[in-house]
Structure 1
Amino acid sequence: MNRYALKLAPLLLALALPSLASAADYAVQPAGSKLGFSGNFQGQSFDGNFGQWTAAISYDPAKLAASKFDVEVDLASVKTGDKDRDGALPGSDFFNVAKFPKAHFVTTGFRQNGAQVIADGNLTLRGLTKPVSLTVVFKPAGTGASMDVTGTVKRLDFGVGTGDYADTSVIANDVKINAHLVLTAK
C-alpha cells in the first residue's frame, strides 16, 4: 500500500461508519396509534383493540438487519364493544390474564418479500411462544413516521379459546392483527 492509501484509509473508514449505524429509534405516540385485531364469531366479524401496550421500535427500511420491535401488551385492556365478549376474553378460557397478564412480541429479523417488508418474530401468549410473521408498511413524515403492521395469528396455537370454544365453526381460528403506529424520532 502506498503512503497516500495509508493516509486515506482512516478517512474512508470514518465515512463508512455512519452506514453501519443502527436503525432509528422511535417513540410511539398514543394519540392516533392503535393495536387492534379482527375475528369471527358465529359468522359475524368483530373488531377489537388493546388499550394498554408498549412498543420499542428501531426501524430503518434501508437497514433491516439493524431494525427491531419489542411489543408488550396488557391483555386485560382488551375491548371489542360487546359486553359479554369483553367479559369473557380476559377469563381462563381465553387469555387467562390472572395467570398470563401480558403478551409479548419480539422480532428475530426482517426480510424483503418483493415490495413487502416482513417482520419475523416470536409471540408469547398464554405461556406459549410461537413464530409469527407480520407485514410492515413504513411511511416517513418529517421527523417521525407512521407504521402499519398486519398479520394473522392462529388462536388455537396459543390455547386461546380451547375446550368448548375450540370449535372453529363458531369462533374462527384466524385472528387478524392490525396496528397503526404514529412515531416520533427519539
Structure 2
Amino acid sequence: MKALLSALLTLTLALPVAAGAADYTVQPTASTLGFAGTFQGAGFNGTFGKWTAAISYDAAHLATSKFDVNVDLVSAKTGDKDRDTALPGADFFNIAKFPQAHFVTTGFRQVGAQVIADGNLTLHGVTKPVTLNVTFKPQGTGAVLDVAGTVKRLDFGVGGGDYADTSVIAADVKVIAHLQLAAK
C-alpha cells in the first residue's frame, strides 16, 4: 500500500500545473485613470482620484486573466470649476443615485499584436459591453499596464437632456488608464 501511495504522489507531482494569470496590486501614486472628451469643439481631459482595481493578467494565459475596476465618480476632476461642479449632478453622473462605475472583463482576445479586453461597464445604472486595448509590459517583479477605449456617453444616459446635443458635447469619451503594478 505504501508503494502505491508513493507512486501516486510521485505521479501527481510530475503532472504539469495549470498555469494562470498573475495577481497584481496597483501602485496608486504612480497610476492614473482618466478620460478625455470634447466640449464646444475644445478637448478636455479628466481624472478619477479614487478607484480600485483587481488585476490578474498574463499575456500567455489570457483565458485566466481578469480586470475588475470600481470608480468613485465623485472623484472626477477636469480642472474646470464649472465642469467639475456639473459632473456629479443629475444631468451627468448623478452620484446621489449612482455613486460608482464598475468595469469587469468578460474575456480577452488577441487581434494581431493587440490584446483586447472585452467587458461590461456599469455607469449611471446602465450596463453595456465595452472593449479596451491593452498594453502590458513586465518590469522586474511588476508591470506597467496601459488601457484605452471609447465609451459612448449617451448609451449610458450621461449628459442627457440639454446636454444630449453631440454638437456641444461629443458622444465619444475616451477612457485611458496607466497603471503601475506590483506582483502580489
**Partner amino acid for 1:128?**
V
Equivalent residues in 2 for 1:22-37 (5 A)?
A: 22-37=20-35
**Partner amino acid for 1:106?**
V
Distance in 1 (CA, whole Å) between partners of 2:86 and 2:23 is: 37
Q: CA deviation at 1:15?
A: 4.0
Corresponding residue of 1:3:
none
Correspondent of 1:167 among 153, 165, 168: 165
Corresponding residue of 1:141:
139
- 3-state DSSP of counterpart to 2:104: strand
Q: CA deviation at 1:21?
A: 2.8
Correspondent of 1:151 among 149, 152, 163: 149
- 3-state DSSP of counterpart to 2:148: strand
Corresponding residue of 1:14:
14
Equivalent residues in 2 for 1:10-159 (5 A)?
A: 11=11, 14-17=14-17, 20-159=18-157
Distance in 1 (CA, whole Å) between partners of 2:34 and 2:72 is: 13
Corresponding residue of 2:4:
none
Q: CA deviation at 1:31?
A: 1.3
Corresponding residue of 1:4:
none
Q: CA deviation at 1:12?
A: 7.8
Deviations 1:4-51 (A, max 9, x none): xxx79x64873411xx13210000001110000100000000000000
- 3-state DSSP of counterpart to 1:86: helix
**Partner amino acid for 1:113?**
V
Instruction: Report the TM-score when normalising by structure 2.
Output: 0.93
- 3-state DSSP of counterpart to 2:28: coil
Q: CA deviation at 1:63?
A: 0.3
- 3-state DSSP of counterpart to 2:36: strand
Distance in 1 (CA, whole Å) between partners of 2:91 and 2:144 is: 35
**Partner amino acid for 1:125?**
L
Q: CA deviation at 1:176?
A: 0.4
Instruction: Report the TM-score when normalising by structure 1.
Output: 0.92
Distance in 1 (CA, whole Å) between partners of 2:133 and 2:11 is: 39
- 3-state DSSP of counterpart to 1:139: strand
Structure 2 unmatched runs, 5+: 1-6
Q: Name the count of aligned residue pairs.
A: 178
Q: CA deviation at 1:93?
A: 0.1
Deviations 1:105-156 (A, max 9, x none): 0000000011000000000001100000000000000000000000000000
**Partner amino acid for 1:33?**
S
